[in-house]
Amino acid sequence: MEFKEKINYLYRYIGQHIMNMIPVSWENVYAVAYMTDGGGSVYFYYTVPGSDELFYSMDIPKNCHTSSDEFSHQTDGLYDLFEELRYEFIRNKHKAWSTCEFDFTIKGKLNVLYQFIDWDATEFGSSAYFNYYRYKKFGILPKLDYELKELYALERYMKEYQKQQDTSI
């Protein structure tokens, strides 16, 4: 399978996997995967028809009374799919992405955004990325002071990183 065909196949498979993880009617999905050679994390938010309220994927077992073990297994499977997507980039001699935003709607609209940041070279951990994503995507600020400070430090880092990328082109 050619690179583009394989990527499109994985997009469909990732989307279907996420849809199978949501046990209620949904309208929009906003997924993000952070990955390095040493590991990563994947999670998503979704909305339901007629509401703009965001529901966090990791709350599905609690909110929807589903098995935590089964959901954990599904989350691991989703991580594996994003890992396979990243591997396809490497296998085809493309730069390995470190962040993949994967947004789609019930009507089939898909938007995928890749970033190529060396997360291992930063001082930030997964909670900082989580808060940064929520802030940039949805305008949600963390409640704790230390998380706010970390968020603003990461935001400064990202601005500086972007500035360096812009000048290196």
Residue with tokens 């073990």: 69
Mean pLDDT score of the chain, rounded to an integer?
94
Q: For position 167, what pLDDT does the model report?
A: 65
- Digit-coded pLDDT (tens) for 74-117: 999 999 999 999 999 999 999 999 999 999 999 999 999 999 98
Residue 60's pLDDT band (cuts 50, 70, 90): very high
Mean pLDDT of 133-137: 96
Is 169's pLDDT higher than 70?
A: no
- Amino acid, single-letter form, for residue 162: Q
Which ranges in the chain are annotated with CATH 3.30.500.20? 3-121
User: Chain centroid to CA 79: how far?
Assistant: 10
Q: Give the architecture-level CATH label for domain 3-121.
A: 2-Layer Sandwich (3.30)
**Poorest-pLDDT segment among 3-7, 32-36, 44-48, 156-160:** 156-160
Task: Report how far residue 93's alpha carbon sits from residue 47's, in angstroms, rounded to the nearest whole number.
Answer: 36
Q: What is the CA radius of gyration of the chain?
A: 17
Task: Report how far residue 24's alpha carbon sits from residue 103's, in angstroms, rounded to the nearest whole number.
Answer: 18
Q: Please compute, for residue 106, the number of CA atoms within 13 A of its CA located in the half-sphere on the CB side.
A: 11
